Amino acid sequence: MKKILFAICAACLTIYGCKKDADPAPEPTPDPVNTTAPQLILKFKFDSTQTRLDNFGNVSTLPAGNSGQSPIFNSMSAHYVELTTNQLTALGAGTIIYESPKTTLGGDMAIDHNSSVLATENSTFLSIPLSSVAAGTYEYMRVSLSYQNYDIKLRVNSPSVIDLTGTLASFIGQNTYISSYTIKDSAIAVNANKLQGYWGFETIYNVTTGQPPPGSVTVPNPIFSTSPIPQGSCIVTGAFSPGALTITGSETSDIVITLSVSTNKSFEWKDADMDGRFEPLDGDTVVDMGIRGLIPMY
């Protein structure tokens, strides 16, 4: 038996020795090379402390008789993004990097809301290869906002005082086809085109919808005098920070642009008793729900 065990061990050693000589240790495997092309990435930021602007990019304060609050944003969407060379560049003459789908299902050509990207704060709204963006130096960015969803505070005074939080879904593009949408928990069927400003509002008690008069959505454009935008659109314009953005065409890493939108008292109402509380059952009426400025930061 000892002779058999000795023979097996000797055979194993012989085989192992031959294999070691025939198969030298492999060379170390190099780290994988990242072949992903550099991207241009857009993200939203909602800033209640950012300067509050009017349609012409001027600092704006609340007029007498009005109150406002800075909503808590849940999501936002845009349907058009353009890089603009300078203040003389006409709308559409810059570098258009994004347009969302449109449809005629509701009659006239309109934004297709159900094909839109709804982005939360700091999530990626858009990511495209930098190689697809024309090289150049750009001082401004134009972003046509199409949808916003946020929470606001309100008070009901009768039969008892109740402080509530409501969720507002607001369609701020010029014309939007909506098959259906969800405000917070409630799904609303529309199957029609809606003009700028159409909204749905949900509390724990009910859901209401409405269409405000034209001009109820502020659209800041600091270069309005040299490069205006069409009435009724929501193409917000902002200057790049910390300075003009240069794309060379030979980038080796991503460029991330944070679209910082001013939510500074962006929800504004006629305050019947000027107590600073939104009390829709006591005569308070909404007059503005547009965002109050854009700073594209990189």
Cα–Cα dist 156/164, whole Å? 8
Predicted confidence (pLDDT) at residue 292 exceeds the cutoff of 90? yes
Cα–Cα dist 106/193, whole Å? 5
Mean pLDDT across the stretch 255-278? 98
Cβ atoms of 68 and 61 closer than 8 Å: no
Cα–Cα dist 227/63, whole Å? 27
Give Cα 49 to chain centroid, integer Å: 18
Calculate the alpha carbon distances from 96 to 5, 7, 37 in Å: 79, 79, 20
The pTM (predicted TM-score) of the whole model is: 0.86
| Angle at alpha carbon of residue 56, lines to 50 and 100, rounded to 5° | 75
The token duo for 289 is 């729900």
Cβ atoms of 128 and 40 closer than 8 Å: yes
> What is the CB neighbour count within 10 angstroms for residue 83?
24
215 pLDDT band, cuts 50/70/90, is confident
pLDDT in tens, 111-169: 999 999 999 999 999 999 999 999 999 999 999 999 999 999 999 999 999 999 999 99
Buried b (16+ CB within 10 A) or exposed e, 219-237: bbbbbbeebebeeebbbbb
